[in-house]
Amino acid sequence: MSLIKMNIAVIGTGYVGLSTGVCLAEIGHQVNGIDVDEAKINELLQGSSPIYEPELEPLLQKNMKKGNLFFTTSLEIGLKDAEIIILAVGTPQHEDGSVDLSYLFGAAKDLAPHLKNKSIVVIKSTVPVGTNHQVKKLIEDHLPHPIAFDMISNPEFLRQGSAISDTLHPDRIIIGSLESSAASKVEAMYQPLHASIIHTSIESAEMIKYASNAFLATKISFINQIANLCESVGADVEDVAMGMGMDKRIGATFLQAGIGYGGSCFPKDTKALLHMAKQNGHHFSQLNETIAINDTQPLLLVKKAVNRFTDLKGKKIALLGLSFKPETDDMREAPSIKIAQKLLELGTVVTAYDPIAIDRAKQVLGNSIHYANSVWEALKDADALFLLTEWGEFKRIDVTRVTGLMKQPIIFDGRNCFDTDKIEACEKIEYYPVGKKAILKEGFY
């Protein structure tokens, strides 16, 4: 089957909207990206990506050059020929864990006057069950005159840091619909990806997204609990995870123990699902535990340092990595924030280095900590190193250099990033990983 070129509008040019728009243009569609943020649209029109995401900028420039991809702040221009309108605006969270749908509802009201007969509105933003129906009603209420249009729930599973590859090679595509011809059209839009397509009801599609993220978050909290127990009983969590993961029913991914999950998705979506359950009279105790474990996991690394030094006051601590995961500059809910704040509370002097996220980190941590321009600058005269994000650059560090630079080469590795054989071979380094035996060098300190 050859590609049927479609006119697609994507409203919202954040991680999800921008990656989706660029990839749909890449597979041959005509795409208009629309956003209310004028500065962002101007940046995009210059061919520059407002977010750090590997592979995104070259594809953006390539497709703009080809004339497949255009950006505008105007709904009138952006929706002019749109057959499919993808809503990918942010859905942040309220204090009580519920989802703030104001951007989505705002976009729905605003697009209504520009909607063409038989067009399809697709919600890609992560939204609670029932939202697609609410949005449909809202659009209907704001149509200048009645027209026929369809709603599709098409949740997104891309990860930051690998958004382009995840979009172009998805494990599955979920299409939740009321009406089969609209679902077939959305399926045809994705045809060049040759992905497995699952058709469901709208409610099931909305739930699949929350259930997937909550399950992955639970997998992480579970392995973190196993890691904490491994430390007490002398087992090695990496061996345990490998042994578990080879069972196909369990699967090897998302069993990396560490300092907990962060980002703009798992923390928010687990709380939203919990809220949804509560509203429907369900006590989702397991999810409560997933969240509670994740809240305390980052601080266990600090606790190890307190046990090691007794008093951390005045100690110089080097943080390597600030973003919530590698290959992104995103600091939202990054475990590094909690760790830095706790270390400051205990009177330490903190110097941090991250290859990409320093500017964003400054917006969160301000001048409460110092920022270094390199690993080596951060480590100079430090009493301890906290490894918080497993950037490739850190994995390649020559650990023998660490000993000469730091006051005391003591490493608290929150991501099990370093090779324990190399640490073992290095006579002075004291090493505290997660869920594995510490490497102590008796008599040195």
392: helix, strand or coil = helix
Q: C-beta of 322: minimal distance to ligand UGA in Å? A: 12
- Supply the DSSP symbol for 364: H
Selected from 21, 33, 78, 263, the binder of ligand UGA by CB under 6 A is 263
Task: Write the secondary structure of 149-194 as one string of H (helix), E (strand) and C (coil).
Answer: EEEEECCCCCCCCCHHHHHHCCCCEEEEECCHHHHHHHHHHHHHHC
* Pairwise CA distance, residues 145 & 295, whole Å: 50
Taking a C-beta distance cutoff of 8 angstroms, is the pair 132, 164 a contact? no
Selected from 71, 149, 210, 261, the binder of ligand UGA by CB under 6 A is 261
* Pairwise CA distance, residues 46 & 352, whole Å: 32
Selected from 68, 154, 213, 336, the binder of ligand UGA by CB under 6 A is 213
Q: C-beta of 396: minimal distance to ligand UGA in Å? A: 19
265 binds ligand UGA (CB under 6 A): yes
Closest to ligand UGA by CB, 82 or 331:
331
Among the candidate windows 21-29, 151-159, 172-180, 357-365, which touches ligand UGA by CB under 6 A?
151-159
* Pairwise CA distance, residues 275 & 267, whole Å: 13
331 binds ligand UGA (CB under 6 A): no
Closest to ligand UGA by CB, 267 or 409:
267
- Supply the DSSP symbol for 99: B
Q: C-beta of 273: minimal distance to ligand UGA in Å? A: 12
Q: C-beta of 428: minimal distance to ligand UGA in Å? A: 29
User: Annotated catalytic sites, by residue?
Assistant: 265
Selected from 21, 78, 128, 258, the binder of ligand UGA by CB under 6 A is 258
26: helix, strand or coil = helix
Whole-Å CA distances, 18 to 73, 164, 232, 288, 377: 14, 10, 45, 32, 35
Whole-Å CA distances, 87 to 90, 143, 188, 379: 9, 17, 18, 45
255 binds ligand UGA (CB under 6 A): yes
Selected from 157, 245, 380, 440, the binder of ligand UGA by CB under 6 A is 157
Residue whose tokens read 């989802």:
99
> Mask 364-393, x = binds ligand UGA (CB under 6 A)?
------------------------------
Selected from 103, 105, 190, 254, the binder of ligand UGA by CB under 6 A is 254
Number of residues that bind ligand UGA (CB under 6 A): 21
**Residues binding ligand UGA (CB under 6 A):** 126, 156-160, 213, 216, 220, 254-256, 258, 261-263, 265-266, 269, 324-325
